C-alpha cells in the first residue's frame, strides 16, 4: 500500500467548528415562513435540546434524529437559502483555526482529509470552502418529499456508534490503511471511530470520551480558537 | 428523423410581425445569432409617428436584447444586418398590412415563413383595440400568408385561450367556448362587432349625454364656474370619450366572461385561432401557444426581460410589507422562459415549412416541470430576503422586511389587501375629520401629513387589489396543466434549439435569473418611476446608405450554391 493511502478523519463538530446541529436547527426554526411556524419549530428545537444533550453522550444518531425533527415541512428552497445565510453570517466565524492547522498538517503529511459531520449537507457543503483542505465530506442528509423536508434524516445517519463500521467500509473502498491513519474527534460515540485508526486523538472531548481517552492513553487536545 | 434547424432555415425568407415585442425581439436576435445563413428577415414595423428607420436603429442600438449581436459583430454589425434584415413599414390594422404594393408583391413571391408574434397583451383593454389587434390583425396576416406563393405561417397565441377551465389542456383548437357552449367563430365575430356598435350607440345616446351634462353642470356650479354651453359641451365631449373607453373595456370583459374566458385578451386570442382555422383551411399554418413568458434562461443573456409580465407584479408584492398573496397552494403558475418559447417557434416554424406540423404547439412548463404557486411565492420571498439583506435601504429593510415572508393564502384572509385598504381608509378619515378640534397646531399638521400618506397608501393598495383581481383566475381559481408534447415530435439536431422545460432548475432560475432580471429590467420603469436601462454599443449600428432595402439575394443562385 502506498504512502498516500492514509487518511485523517475529522469530526467537524468540536474539532473544526465550534457549533453543533442544535444551533443550526434553531437558526432554521427561527427563520421559518410565518410567525406561527417560527414559534412552533423553535419550541420544538428547544424541547429537543435536553434530549440531544442526554443522548449525545451515548447514541448521537438518535440525538440527531430528534434534533432534526424541527426541519419538518420546511421547503428545500428555504433550507438551501438559509443554509447559505447561516454559513455566511454565523458558521464561518465558528471555524476553529487550531482545527484548520491540524488539517493543514495532516494534508502536509500526505493524508487524505475526510471530514465527518452531523450537520446537514446544505450547510456543510456551504462551509466546506472555509475548511480549505477537505478531500471528502460525509454528513447528514435531510429527506425531502415534494420539495418539503419530512423531518427525517436519510440513512446512514452520521454521529452514532455506526461510525466505526462506516470507517472500515470507507477504508476498504478507498484502500486506506487505517493503521497509519489518524482521527480527531470529541464525542463519546466517536470512540469506535477513534479506536479504528492507528493514531487517534481526542479533541475538546466530552466527559465520556475524555475518560476513555485517558484509559486508552490517547493524546487529548484542547482548543477553542 | 431529426431536423437540423440550420438546414431548414438556410436560405429561407421569413416575415416577422411583432418584432418590437418581447418575444419577437428575442426571436430576431436568436435568428441572427444562431441562423446566420437565413436569407432574409423582413421585420414589419409600425411607424407610430416616427420614422420607421429611426425606430429600428434606436431599437438595435439601445435595446439590451441586441447586446450579444453587437458583441459578436462589433463594427461589422451594420453590414451584417443590412445583408439579412429588411425593415418593412406596415401595420396589422388593414388589409395587406399596409405594406407598399411593390414590397408586398416581392414578399408574396419570396417569403417562406411568416412568424406572427404581434398582438395586444393587455388583459382587459378597450375591446375595439383588442379586436383590431388580436383578431383583425391576425386575419390580415393570415390573409397575406394565403396570398403568398409558398409561405407557411406560425401564429403565436397563448395557452390561456383555454379559458376558465380546470385540468389538463390538450394541444388542440377547441370548437366550443370554455363554458362548454358550441361556438361558431364567424357568428361570434359578428356578435362582437355588434357589441362594439351597441356600446358606441349607447355612449352616444341622449340618455348618456343628458346624464353626463347634468354631472358636468353640477360639478361646475359646485366649483363656482358658470356652466356656459361651450364649457359644458367641451367637458361632456371629453367625458364621453373617456367613458367610451371604459364601457368598451367592460363590454369586452363581460362578453369574455359570459363565454368562460377570464378576460378580453384570452377571448380575442382564442377567437383568432378559431377564425384562422375556419377561414384559411388550405393555409399551411400552425399555432404556437406560450404560457406565461418570463425572463430568459440564457438567451440573449440570463434574466433578460422587458415590459409587463404576469409574475412581475406578484413578485414585486412579495417584496413589500404586504404578505398574503391570494394563491391556492398546489396550483401551477405556468411560467416559461422566453428563450424556450423562441426555441419552440423555430422548431414549429421548421415543421410547418416542411408540412409536417401539428395543429397546435404549447410551450409551457406545467406538464414537464411543474411549479406550484406556493413554491413560487416562497422563492419570491427568499429572493427578496437575499436581496434586501445585502442592499436594503436601512436597518428596517435589512433586518425586518427581508424576513417578512410572503405567503400564498386564501383571498378571504383577514389581512387581505381589501381589508388593509379599509383600515387605512378609516384611519385617514379619522385623521382628517374625526380628530379632536382642540389640539395643538403642530399635531394638526402632523395629522394632515399622515392623512396624505394614507391617501397615497390607499391609491397604491387599490392598484395592488386590481392587479390581484386580474391574476386571480390563474393564481387561485383554476388548476390548469398545459400539455406540451407536440414539439417533441420534431427532434432537433442542434442542442441549443431544444425545448426542454424539464431541465429548468426553478430555484436557480428564480433566484439567480428571473428575480434579478425583473429588478434590473422591469421594476424600475413599472414601479419605481425610473428610466429603463438601455444599452450603449461601442460602435453604433447604422443603416448603411442605400441598403435599407438591400438587394434580395437571388434565390435560384443561392439554392444552387446550397
Written as one string, the DSSP assignment of B17-83 is: ESTTSHHHHHHHHHHHHH-TT--EEEEEE--TTS-HHHHHHHHHHH-GGGHHHHHHHGGGHHHHHHH
Asked whether B411 and B419 are in contact (CB, 8 A), the reply is: no
The model's pLDDT over B221-253, given as tens digits with 9 standing for 90+, comes to: 888 888 788 888 888 889 999 999 999 999 999
Which residue in the set B389, B407, B507 is minimally distant from A77, CB to CB? B507
Contact of B512 with chain A, judged by CB distance below 8 Å, is answered with no
- B257 contact partners, CB below 8 Å, separation of at least 6: none
Angle at which helix B22-34 crosses helix B77-84, to 10 degrees, equals 100
Q: Work out the pLDDT band at B560, boundaries 50, 70, 90.
A: very low
Q: Is residue B429 pLDDT above 50, yes or no? A: yes
The model's pLDDT over B245-294, given as tens digits with 9 standing for 90+, comes to: 999 999 999 999 999 999 999 999 999 999 999 999 999 999 999 999 99
The pLDDT mean for chain B works out to: 90
Asked whether B285 and B152 are in contact (CB, 8 A), the reply is: yes
Q: To the nearest whole angstrom, how far is the Cα of B373 from the nearest Cα of chain A?
A: 13
Size of interface A-B (CB pairs under 8 A): 24
**Separation between Cα atoms, residue B282 and residue B291, nearest integer Å:** 27
Cβ separation A81–B389 shorter than 8 A:
no
pLDDT at residue B50 in the model: 60
Q: Is residue A3 pLDDT above 70, yes or no? A: no
Q: Work out the pLDDT band at A225, boundaries 50, 70, 90.
A: low
Q: Is residue B548 pLDDT above 70, yes or no? A: no
**Separation between Cα atoms, residue B516 and residue B511, nearest integer Å:** 7
The model's pLDDT over A110-126, given as tens digits with 9 standing for 90+, comes to: 999 999 999 999 999 99
Q: Which three cell numbers stand for residue A29?
A: 426554526
Q: Which three cell numbers stand for residue B194?
A: 355588434
pLDDT at residue B550 in the model: 42
Per-residue pLDDT averaged across B111-134, rounded? 92
pLDDT at residue B476 in the model: 87
**Separation between Cα atoms, residue B239 and residue B235, nearest integer Å:** 6
The pLDDT mean for chain A works out to: 89
Which residue in the set A33, A80, A147 is minimally distant from B381, CB to CB? A33
The model's pLDDT over A192-205, given as tens digits with 9 standing for 90+, comes to: 889 999 999 999 99
Q: Is residue B44 pLDDT above 80, yes or no? A: yes
Per-residue pLDDT averaged across A105-112, rounded? 93
Asked whether A194 and A185 are in contact (CB, 8 A), the reply is: yes
A135 three-class SS: coil
Total residue length of chain B: 562
Per-residue pLDDT averaged across B471-495, rounded? 92
Task: Choose the most confident range, by mean pLDDT, from A36-45, A192-201, B102-111.
Answer: B102-111
Per-residue pLDDT averaged across B341-347, rounded? 98
Written as one string, the DSSP assignment of B274-321 is HHHHHH-TTS-EEEEEESEEES-SSSSSTT---S--SHHHHHHHHTSS
Closest CA to B91 of B130, B129, B137: B137
- Strands B167-169, A7-11: pairing kind: unpaired
- Strands B285-290, B335-337: pairing kind: unpaired
Q: Is residue A38 pLDDT above 50, yes or no? A: yes
Q: Is residue B470 pLDDT above 90, yes or no? A: no
Per-residue pLDDT averaged across B203-213, rounded? 90
Task: Tally Cβ neighbours within 10 Å of residue B214.
Answer: 12
Q: Is residue B48 pLDDT above 60, yes or no? A: no
Q: Which three cell numbers stand for residue A145?
A: 418529499
Cβ separation B386–A81 shorter than 8 A:
yes
B422 three-class SS: helix
Contact of B483 with chain A, judged by CB distance below 8 Å, is answered with no
Q: Is residue B188 pLDDT above 70, yes or no? A: yes
Residues of B in contact with A85 (CB under 8 A): 389
Closest CA to B384 of B318, B295, B479, B334: B318
Closest Cα in chain B to A79: B382
Contact of B403 with chain A, judged by CB distance below 8 Å, is answered with yes
Which residue in the set B375, B386, B403 is minimally distant from A147, CB to CB? B375
Task: Choose the most confident range, by mean pLDDT, from A153-157, B434-438, B455-459, B517-521.
Answer: B517-521
Q: Is residue B558 pLDDT above 70, yes or no? A: no
The model's pLDDT over B138-180, given as tens digits with 9 standing for 90+, comes to: 999 999 999 999 999 999 999 999 998 899 999 999 999 999 9
The structural domains of chain B, ordered by start, are 1-179+261-291+334-367+483-499 (3.40.50.720), 181-259 (no CATH), 309-332+372-478+505-531 (no CATH)
Asked whether B13 and B111 are in contact (CB, 8 A), the reply is: yes
Q: Work out the pLDDT band at B545, boundaries 50, 70, 90.
A: low
pLDDT at residue A193 in the model: 86
Per-residue pLDDT averaged across B534-550, rounded? 76
Residue A221: which region, alpha, beta or left (left: phi > 0; alpha: psi -120 to 50)?
beta
Residue B20 CA to its chain's centroid (Å): 12
Residue B249 CA to its chain's centroid (Å): 17
Closest Cα in chain A to B402: A31
Q: Is residue B562 pLDDT above 50, yes or no? A: no
B225 three-class SS: coil
Asked whether B267 and B261 are in contact (CB, 8 A), the reply is: yes
pLDDT at residue B308 in the model: 66
Grid-cell match 461601442, residue found: B538
Per-residue pLDDT averaged across B295-319, rounded? 88
pLDDT at residue B462 in the model: 84
Per-residue pLDDT averaged across B476-494, rounded? 95
Cβ separation A75–B405 shorter than 8 A:
no
- Strands B480-482, B407-409: pairing kind: unpaired
Contact of B378 with chain A, judged by CB distance below 8 Å, is answered with yes
What is the enclosing helix (H) or strand (E) of B168?
A: strand B167-169
Q: Is residue B349 pLDDT above 90, yes or no? A: yes
Backbone phi and psi for residue A118, each to the nearest 5 degrees, phi listed first: -80, -15
Q: Is residue B515 pLDDT above 70, yes or no? A: yes
Cβ separation B378–A34 shorter than 8 A:
no
Superfamily of domain A7-221: HAD superfamily/HAD-like (3.40.50.1000)
Which residue in the set B378, B389, B511 is minimally distant from A75, CB to CB? B378
pLDDT at residue B559 in the model: 44
The model's pLDDT over B524-533, given as tens digits with 9 standing for 90+, comes to: 887 777 888 8
The model's pLDDT over B53-81, given as tens digits with 9 standing for 90+, comes to: 899 999 999 999 999 999 999 999 999 99
* ipTM above 0.95 for this complex: no
Q: Which of A203-212, B21-30, B477-486 has the lowest mean pLDDT?
A: A203-212
**Separation between Cα atoms, residue B114 and residue B186, nearest integer Å:** 24
Closest Cα in chain B to A78: B382
Share of chain B above pLDDT 90, in %: 67
Task: Choose the most confident range, by mean pLDDT, from A18-27, B304-313, B543-552.
Answer: A18-27
The model's pLDDT over A158-193, given as tens digits with 9 standing for 90+, comes to: 877 677 778 888 899 999 999 999 999 988 888 888
Residues of A in contact with B378 (CB under 8 A): 33, 75, 77-78
Cβ separation A77–B386 shorter than 8 A:
no
CA dihedral sign, ordered B242, B245, B246, B248: positive
Asked whether B361 and B120 are in contact (CB, 8 A), the reply is: no
Amino acid at each position: 500500500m502506498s504512502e498516500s493511502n492514509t487518511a485523517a478523519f475529522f469530526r467537524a463538530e468540536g474539532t473544526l467548528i465550534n457549533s453543533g446541529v442544535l444551533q443550526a436547527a434553531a437558526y432554521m426554526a427561527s427563520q421559518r415562513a410565518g410567525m406561527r411556524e417560527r414559534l412552533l419549530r423553535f419550541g420544538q428545537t428547544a424541547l429537543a435540546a435536553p434530549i440531544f444533550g442526554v443522548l449525545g453522550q451515548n447514541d448521537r444518531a438518535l440525538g440527531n434524529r430528534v434534533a432534526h425533527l424541527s426541519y419538518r415541512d420546511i421547503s428545500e428552497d428555504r433550507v438551501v437559502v438559509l443554509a447559505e445565510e447561516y454559513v455566511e453570517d454565523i458558521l464561518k466565524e465558528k471555524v476553529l483555526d487550531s482545527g484548520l492547522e491540524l488539517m493543514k498538517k495532516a494534508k502536509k503529511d500526505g493524508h487524505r482529509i475526510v471530514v465527518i459531520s452531523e450537520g446537514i449537507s446544505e450547510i456543510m457543503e456551504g462551509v466546506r470552502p472555509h475548511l480549505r483542505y477537505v478531500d471528502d465530506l460525509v454528513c447528514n442528509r435531510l429527506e425531502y418529499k415534494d420539495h418539503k423536508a419530512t423531518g427525517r434524516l436519510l440513512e446512514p445517519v452520521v454521529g452514532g456508534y455506526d461510525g466505526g463500521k462506516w470507517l472500515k467500509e470507507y477504508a476498504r473502498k478507498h484502500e486506506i490503511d487505517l493503521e497509519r491513519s489518524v482521527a480527531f474527534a470529541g464525542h463519546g460515540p466517536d470512540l469506535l471511530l477513534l479506536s479504528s485508526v492507528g493514531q487517534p486523538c481526542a479533541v475538546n472531548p466530552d466527559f465520556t470520551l475524555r475518560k476513555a481517552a485517558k484509559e486508552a492513553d490517547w493524546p487529548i487536545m484542547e482548543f477553542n480558537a | 428523423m431529426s431536423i437540423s434547424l440550420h438546414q431548414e432555415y438556410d436560405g429561407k425568407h421569413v416575415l416577422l410581425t411583432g418584432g418590437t415585442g418581447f418575444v419577437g425581439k428575442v426571436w430576431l436576435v436568436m435568428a441572427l445569432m444562431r441562423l446566420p445563413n437565413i436569407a432574409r428577415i423582413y421585420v414589419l414595423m409600425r411607424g407610430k409617428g416616427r420614422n420607421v428607420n429611426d425606430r429600428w436603429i434606436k431599437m438595435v442600438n439601445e435595446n439590451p436584447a441586441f447586446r450579444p449581436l453587437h458583441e459578436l459583430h462589433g463594427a461589422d454589425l451594420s453590414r451584417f444586418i443590412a445583408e439579412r434584415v429588411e425593415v418593412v413599414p406596415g401595420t396589422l390594422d388593414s388589409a395587406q398590412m399596409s405594406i407598399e404594393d411593390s414590397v408586398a408583391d416581392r414578399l408574396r413571391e419570396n417569403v417562406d415563413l411568416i412568424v406572427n408574434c404581434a398582438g395586444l397583451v393587455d388583459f382587459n383593454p378597450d375591446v375595439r383595440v383588442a379586436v383590431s389587434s388580436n383578431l383583425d390583425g391576425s386575419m390580415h396576416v393570415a390573409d397575406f400568408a394565403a396570398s403568398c406563393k409558398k409561405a407557411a405561417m406560425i401564429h403565436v397565441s397563448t395557452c390561456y385561450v383555454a379559458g376558465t377551465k380546470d385540468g389538463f389542456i390538450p394541444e388542440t383548437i377547441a370548437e366550443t367556448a370554455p363554458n362548454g357552449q358550441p361556438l361558431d367563430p364567424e357568428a361570434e365575430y359578428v356578435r362582437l362587432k355588434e357589441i362594439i356598435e351597441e356600446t358606441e350607440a349607447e355612449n352616444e345616446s341622449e340618455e348618456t349625454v343628458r346624464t353626463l351634462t347634468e354631472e358636468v353642470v353640477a360639478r361646475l356650479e359646485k366649483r363656482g364656474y358658470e356652466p356656459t354651453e361651450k364649457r359644458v359641451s367641451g367637458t361632456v365631449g371629453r367625458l364621453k370619450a373617456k367613458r367610451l373607453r371604459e364601457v368598451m373595456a367592460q363590454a369586452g370583459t363581460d362578453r369574455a366572461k359570459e363565454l368562460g374566458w377570464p378576460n378580453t385578451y384570452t377571448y380575442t386570442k382564442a377567437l383568432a385561432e378559431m377564425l384562422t382555422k375556419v377561414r384559411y383551411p388550405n393555409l399551411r399554418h400552425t399555432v404556437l401557444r406560450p404560457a406565461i413568458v418570463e425572463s430568459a434562461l440564457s438567451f440573449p443573456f440570463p434574466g433578460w426581460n422587458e415590459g409587463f409580465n404576469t409574475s412581475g407584479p406578484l413578485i414585486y408584492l412579495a417584496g413589500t410589507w404586504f404578505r398574503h398573496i391570494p394563491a391556492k397552494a398546489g396550483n401551477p403558475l405556468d411560467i416559461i422562459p422566453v428563450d424556450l418559447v423562441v426555441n419552440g417557434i423555430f422548431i414549429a416554424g421548421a415543421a410547418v415549412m416542411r408540412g409536417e406540423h401539428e395543429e397546435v404547439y404549447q410551450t409551457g412548463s406545467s406538464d414537464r416541470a411543474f411549479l406550484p404557486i406556493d413554491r413560487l411565492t416562497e422563492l419570491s420571498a427568499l429572493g427578496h430576503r437575499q436581496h434586501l439583506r445585502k442592499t436594503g435601504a436601512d436597518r428596517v429593510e435589512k433586518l425586518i422586511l427581508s424576513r417578512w415572508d410572503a405567503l400564498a393564502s386564501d383571498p378571504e384572509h383577514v389581512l387581505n389587501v381589501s381589508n388593509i385598504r379599509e383600515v387605512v381608509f378609516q384611519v385617514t378619515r379619522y385623521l382628517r375629520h374625526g380628530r379632536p378640534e382642540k389640539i395643538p397646531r403642530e399635531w394638526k399638521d402632523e395629522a394632515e401629513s399622515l392623512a396624505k400618506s394614507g391617501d397615497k397608501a390607499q391609491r397604491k393598495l387599490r392598484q395592488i387589489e386590481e392587479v390581484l383581481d386580474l391574476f386571480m383566475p390563474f393564481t387561485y381559481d383554476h388548476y390548469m396543466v398545459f400539455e406540451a408534447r407536440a414539439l417533441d415530435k420534431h427532434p432537433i439536431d442542434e442542442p441549443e434549439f431544444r425545448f426542454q422545460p424539464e431541465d429548468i432548475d426553478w430555484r436557480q432560475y428564480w433566484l439567480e435569473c428571473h428575480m434579478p432580471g425583473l429588478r434590473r429590467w422591469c421594476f424600475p420603469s413599472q414601479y419605481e418611476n425610473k428610466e429603463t436601462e438601455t444599452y450603449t454599443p461601442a460602435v453604433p449600428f447604422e443603416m448603411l446608405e442605400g441598403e435599407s432595402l438591400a438587394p434580395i439575394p437571388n434565390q435560384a443562385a443561392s439554392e444552387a450554391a446550397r
